[in-house]
Amino acid sequence: MIMKFPNDFLWGAASAAYQVEGAYNEDGKGLSIWDEFSQIKGKTKHNTNGKVAVDFYHHYQEDIKLMAEMGLKAYRFSISWSRILPNGEGEINQAGLDFYERVIDELLKNDIEPIVTLYHWDLPEKLQTKYGGWENRKLVDLFVEYCRILFEKFGAKIKYWVTFNEQNVFTSLGYRWASHPPNVSDTKRMFQANHVVNLANAKVIQLFHKLVPNEKIGPSFGYGEVYPLTSSPADVLAAVNANQFNNDWWLDVYCRGYYPEKILRLLKKLHLDFEITAEDLKVLKAGKPDFLGINYYHGGTVKAPDFEKVKNQKDFDKTDPYLMAADKQAASPESYLFESVENPYLDKTNWGWEIDPIGFRIALRQVYEKYQLPIMITENGLGAFDKLEDGKINDQYRIDYLNDHLVQVGKAIADGVPVLGFCAWSFTDLLSWLNGYDKRYGFVYIDRDDYSAENLTRIKKQSFYWYQKIIESNGGK
């Protein structure tokens, strides 16, 4: 790769507490909704869970030593709310704060910039059972209080903070598709929970700007550019709709403080709307981020919806589709806007995710040109079945994938997009939320399988040495 990256470019890697830490009930940690959800049979592959994960909790020094050896400039990790506040509110667990302080200090000692995510999906279980989780506005203040503790404690040490990781993903999968906690499948409830998260995001940003005025904060969004299947104007319009529904629905709120009007009107028509007060609008407008975190894996392709098909949906009632539909999913806003199709030009990973490096450049251009905020790439990487052979892992496919994506990041920078850094997903192998431990992402192999966590030995993959060279040469010579 021969690209020009800024001199202070943050070559990084990313992870999340539940996926790496383990020690799920040690040193006073409370349970999270993921600790509970993973107990429900059949929800995750082989019923895997994060009880041990890759035991970063006890291996953090060893892992940070490897990061330093690689030359990593930044490490993005998340803080587990229930390690700080076992009940989500009330008494602070000092041992939890101490753990993160040790991690942060160890990173700083090794000249690695810590990038801290405040919420990567592991809500304290008590807040779900006591208040009903994100559907309840009470969560806004509780989240702000939790963050206040962290800003006061670590504000002087951390330059980059991420509010919510992929709000689009955890609200959809958790409240609409019941494949994440809290295991709900109700589209209306999803929109309600999503609005509460938006308020929490904006309020925390406001607090941050008051308490830590010199540093930066923003959400990490799971962005995917949506293409039209053909150049037929109806398909192009469908892609405009899909981009608004899948991307602007969140990014407009983060960056402009309001929801896209077209989607709001559609939700109203489908009785999927939610309460937005005048005060809410003020809050959303006042909580603008300093940068946007972008997680990029893949985009999508759409064609114009077949309205005849929509009308003929089982139990569809033209006057009141939401209330009359026996299956609430029949009131699908997407079916009025676009129909998702396969892209005939793109290959896929073993897990069926399209591989689209040029889409990355398009995404970065679109996001920057629209919102004019610096971008931190907070995730990008390839999940694969890696094989340990003669003590080595030759993951050339991962090198190719990352190289192709980084080339496009370099081109986007040359196009004029201010990209602050690139956090590969991930540094070590870790738990994939639903796929267990055999979908591997790391530069460092962790010797464990789905069923046992016996040795957890760390082994550097081929890609480790490749990324080391990329960092050393600031993008390659």
Query: Least distance (Å) from ligand BGP to the CB of residue 208?
Result: 21
CA atoms within 13 A on the CB side of 310: 15
Query: Least distance (Å) from ligand BGP to the CB of residue 477?
Result: 31
Q: How far apart are CA 173 and CA 178, in angstroms?
A: 6
Which of 89, 106, 125, 379 does the annotation list as catalytic? 379
**DSSP run (H or E) holding 174:** helix 167-175
Q: Check residue 383 for interaction with ligand BGP (CB under 6 A).
A: yes
Compare residues 43 and 188 and give the one whose CB is closer to ligand BGP: 43
Query: Least distance (Å) from ligand BGP to the CB of residue 439?
Result: 5
Region 395-454 residues binding ligand BGP, contact defined as CB under 6 A: 425, 432-435, 439
Question: For the chain, what percentages of helix, strand and coil (3-state, to nearest 5) are there?
Answer: 45, 15, 40
Compare residues 339 and 429 and give the one whose CB is closer to ligand BGP: 429
Region 8-27 residues binding ligand BGP, contact defined as CB under 6 A: 16, 19
Compare residues 334 and 438 and give the one whose CB is closer to ligand BGP: 438
**DSSP run (H or E) holding 78:** strand 74-78
Region 28-87 residues binding ligand BGP, contact defined as CB under 6 A: none
Compare residues 179 and 313 and give the one whose CB is closer to ligand BGP: 179
Neighbours of 1 (CB within 10 A): 16
Residue 419 sits at φ, ψ, to 5 deg, of -105, 125
Compare residues 208 and 433 and give the one whose CB is closer to ligand BGP: 433
- What are 441's two structure tokens? 């992402």
Residue that is written with structure tokens 């790391």 in the block: 442
Query: Least distance (Å) from ligand BGP to the CB of residue 165?
Result: 5
Compare residues 121 and 245 and give the one whose CB is closer to ligand BGP: 121
Compare residues 165 and 247 and give the one whose CB is closer to ligand BGP: 165
Q: How far apart are CA 471 and CA 466, in angstroms?
A: 9
DSSP letters along 233-295, please? HHHHHHHHHHHIIIIIHHHHHHHHSS--HHHHHHHHHTT------HHHHHHHHH---SSEEEE
CB-closest chain residue to ligand BGP: 432
| CA torsion, ordered 386, 387, 392, 394, to nearest 10 deg | -60
Question: Is 166 one of the annotated active-site residues of the chain?
Answer: yes
| Residues 363 and 296: beta-carbon distance below 8 Å | yes
Q: Annotate each residue in 209-228 with x if it binds ligand BGP (CB under 6 A) or - if it does not, as one string.
A: -------------x------
Region 123-182 residues binding ligand BGP, contact defined as CB under 6 A: 165-166, 169
**DSSP run (H or E) holding 193:** helix 187-211
Query: Least distance (Å) from ligand BGP to the CB of residue 353?
Result: 8
Angle between helices 462-472 and 56-70 (to 10 degrees): 50
Question: Is 379 one of the annotated active-site residues of the chain?
Answer: yes
Which of 89, 166, 339, 354 does the annotation list as catalytic? 166
Sheet of strand 339-341: strand arrangement = 226-228, 300-303, 339-341
Structure letter (DSSP) for residue 350: T
Q: Check residue 122 for interaction with ligand BGP (CB under 6 A).
A: no
Using DSSP's 3-state secondary structure scheme, residue 203 falls into helix
> Which has the closest alpha carbon to 10: 108, 115, 83?
115
Region 239-278 residues binding ligand BGP, contact defined as CB under 6 A: none
Query: Least distance (Å) from ligand BGP to the CB of residue 12?
Result: 14
Query: Least distance (Å) from ligand BGP to the CB of residue 195?
Result: 21
Q: Annotate each residue in 294-333 with x if it binds ligand BGP (CB under 6 A) or - if it does not, as one string.
A: -x--------------------------------------
Q: How far apart are CA 116 and CA 113, in angstroms?
A: 10
Compare residues 99 and 425 and give the one whose CB is closer to ligand BGP: 425
Bridge-based pairing of strands 339-341 and 300-303 is: antiparallel
Query: Least distance (Å) from ligand BGP to the CB of residue 168?
Result: 9
- What are 399's two structure tokens? 């090198």
Q: Check residue 379 for interaction with ligand BGP (CB under 6 A).
A: yes
Residues that bind ligand BGP (CB under 6 A): 16, 19, 165-166, 169, 222, 295, 379, 383, 425, 432-435, 439
Return the active site residues.
166, 379
